Amino acid sequence: GENVGLHLPTLSVQEGDNSIINCAYSNSASDYFIWYKQESGKGPQFIIDIRSNMDKRQGQRVTVLLNKTVKHLSLQIAATQPGDSAVYFCAEMNYGGSQGNLIFGKGTKLSVKP
Amino acid sequence: ETGVTQTPRHLVMGMTNKKSLKCEQHLGHNAMYWYKQSAKKPLELMFVYNFKEQTENNSVPSRFSPECPNSSHLFLHLHTLQPEDSALYLCASSQDIGNEQFFGPGTRLTVL
């Protein structure tokens, strides 16, 4: 079946370093991808999205890369800060096939060491 | 913060109780969603409403009953739940189906 998954369940980085969180997806028909951040006690918060007609999109300190050939998505966080500590989820959507519903991965916990 | 509020934030109930979760969005969105978040599992979509009409029911047991009286409010009525239903229940909204979803803070539900 179709699924979205994450390569690493936990990631620990030093403050100031760059972080890379990876995500694999199996539905080649997915055309929209979102990264969410979830801090303890809060709901998921939108970080950045990318559509399948792009391979890179940059935000403030974050960059999402999409490799459709290998069905891989990554989130890069520059100069990681303690406030970046959270669980990060990737989500995929195939608008035509799934009525626009998001399918979430399991999440990667990012811990930032001071 | 996101424009989506949920009440209560925490709820403890027995298996014979009836309770309701409430979600309200102040964003003018047309679509609203209920998700279940359990430990060590991905977020599970439960229900989708678009313009107050239910468009998706992801094989959710009938002990969960959604209600969407208008585009700004969404309820989840709970009846005779099981301990395995204990989870964080998240509400989300989006401008339309297929757009970015904004999440509320969730209701932490414990079924005894």
pLDDT digits (tens, 9 = 90+) for B20-30: 999 999 999 99
User: A-chain residues within 8 Å CB-CB of B4?
Assistant: 43
Q: What was the pLDDT predicted at B40? A: 67
Contact B76, B84 (CB under 8 A): no
Q: What was the pLDDT predicted at B33? A: 94
User: Would the CB atoms of B4 and A104 count as touching at under 8 Å?
Assistant: no
Rounded CA-CA distance A87/A40 in Å is 8
B26-45 pLDDT, tens digit each: 999 999 999 999 886 788 99
User: Would the CB atoms of A89 and B4 count as touching at under 8 Å?
Assistant: no
Contact B88, B107 (CB under 8 A): yes
Q: Mapping DSSP to helix (H, G, I), strand (E, B) and coil, where does residue A79 land?
A: coil
Q: What was the pLDDT predicted at B13? A: 93
Q: What was the pLDDT predicted at A94? A: 82
User: Would the CB atoms of A106 and B40 count as touching at under 8 Å?
Assistant: yes
A17-42 pLDDT, tens digit each: 999 999 998 788 899 999 999 998 88
Contact B94, B109 (CB under 8 A): no
Which residue of chain B is at minimal alpha-carbon distance from A3? B42
| Burial class of residue B109 (count of CB atoms within 10 Å of its CB; 0-12, 13-18, 19+) | buried
How far are the Cα atoms of A15, A16, A62, A63 from residue B91, in angstroms, in the given order?
A: 32, 34, 26, 27
Best probe of the B interface among A10, A25, A38, by most B CBs < 10 A, is: A38
User: Would the CB atoms of A34 and B100 count as touching at under 8 Å?
Assistant: yes
**Is it the case that residue A96 has pLDDT exceeding 70?**
no
Q: What was the pLDDT predicted at A4? A: 52
Q: How far is A107 from chain B (nearest CA, A)?
A: 7
User: B-chain residues within 8 Å CB-CB of A6?
Assistant: none
List helix spans (H) across chain A.
none
User: Tell me, what DSSP letter sits at residue B101?
Assistant: P
